[in-house]
């Protein structure tokens, strides 16, 4: 059964940064947060796509309080500039942006593996440099993936060349981001700040409500996909556990949220299980040190 939606306006006065907010799960996080009155900073690499997202959100929430932040998580220079441009208190940071598939030779502008560099190292550097702007009760939400369960983490080989399917490396990059969030939760233990993880389940475009300029899907494809709703969900549904993790009163540091249905593919937000590896304090600490060494960004949380 779906959860009762939170009331409109309950997030007035709160500011949330969402990375990758111009499409997919990130867009729907931004729209849902705006519906509830939050001020949303849209961290986007493409100015054109950011403008499209702003127009789409305001078509649903005319009073939406939005700000576009130019951000390319595959560039440490861009991350540093974006962090320097933020001049306001942040109540939550949702680390959503990511590369889902890439050739093994693909690299970031800094020479890192594209998926690890964008999905994990970019977010690590961003949160580290935003830390002084986080409110006393701020939350950091790492958007993970079911694919983390199939990943093996070795902090000593974090940025080494990889082999095998791209999905495995994607899972490794998401597992790294999750391990970082769980380590941040341990380091913030005893404070009012919290770090958590969340995942969207199995979310697809044909089951997602249409928005102008975003992932157009034909009526025929939507009709053919409709029966799959018993197993999977739209990206609006996929955003719900992530927004819940960023805003709900029943969330605690170190939580992992996802859809509560069969196989965690769809359903109302619920606490779900993360692998022992991403929760390992030894791996989390070693991964943190590796990220600082590789990026040159210190994060004395």
Query: How many other CB atoms are there within 10 angstroms of residue 263's CB atom?
Result: 12
The reply to whether 27 belongs to the active site is: no
Which whole-number Å values give the CA distances from 259 to 128, 147, 200, in the listed order? 29, 14, 7
What b/e readout covers 180-214, taking b as 16+ CB neighbours within 10 angstroms? bbbbbbbbbeeeebbbbbbbbbbbbbbbbeebebb
Q: For residues 59 and 30, is the Cβ–Cβ distance under 8 A?
A: no
Which of 27, 170, 202, 256 does the annotation list as catalytic?
170
Written as one string, the DSSP assignment of 163-216 is: -S-HHHHHHHHHHHHHHHHHHHHHHTTTSS-EEEEE---SEEGGGSPPBTTBS-
* Closest alpha carbon to 99 in 121, 77, 79, 83: 121
Compute the distance between CA of residue 49 and CA of residue 55 in angstroms, rounded to an integer.
10
Give the CA dihedral 159, 165, 171, 173, nearest 10 degrees. 20
Catalytically annotated residues: 170
């Amino acid at each position: 059964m779906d959860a009762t939606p939170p009331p409109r306006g309950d997030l007035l006065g709160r500011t949330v940064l969402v990375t990758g907010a111009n499409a997919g799960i990130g867009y729907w996080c931004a729209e849902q947060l705006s519906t509830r009155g939050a001020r949303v900073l849209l961290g986007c690499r493409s100015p054109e796509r950011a403008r499209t997202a702003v127009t789409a959100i305001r078509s649903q929430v005319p009073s939406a309080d939005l700000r576009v932040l130019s951000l390319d998580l595959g560039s440490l220079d861009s991350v540093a500039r974006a962090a320097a441009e933020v001049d306001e208190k942040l109540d939550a940071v949702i680390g959503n942006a990511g590369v889902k598939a890439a050739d093994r030779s693909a690299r970031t502008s800094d020479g890192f593996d594209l998926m690890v560099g964008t999905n994990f190292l970019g977010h690590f550097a961003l949160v580290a440099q935003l830390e002084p702007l986080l409110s006393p009760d701020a939350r950091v939400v790492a958007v993970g993936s079911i694919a983390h369960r199939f990943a093996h983490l070795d902090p000593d080989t974090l940025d080494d060349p990889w082999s095998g399917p791209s999905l495995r490396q994607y899972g490794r990059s998401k597992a790294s981001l999750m391990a970082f969030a769980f380590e941040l939760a341990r380091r913030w233990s005893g404070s009012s700040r919290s770090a958590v993880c969340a995942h969207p389940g199995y979310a697809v475009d044909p089951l997602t409500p249409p928005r102008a300029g975003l992932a157009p899907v034909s009526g025929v494809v939507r009709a053919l996909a409709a029966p799959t709703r018993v197993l999977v969900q739209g990206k609006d549904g996929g955003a719900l556990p992530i927004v819940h993790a960023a805003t709900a009163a029943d969330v605690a540091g170190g939580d992992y949220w996802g859809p509560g249905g069969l196989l965690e593919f769809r359903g109302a937000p619920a606490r779900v299980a993360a692998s022992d590896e991403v929760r390992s304090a030894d791996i989390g600490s070693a991964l943190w040190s590796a990220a600082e060494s590789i990026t040159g960004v210190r994060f004395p949380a």
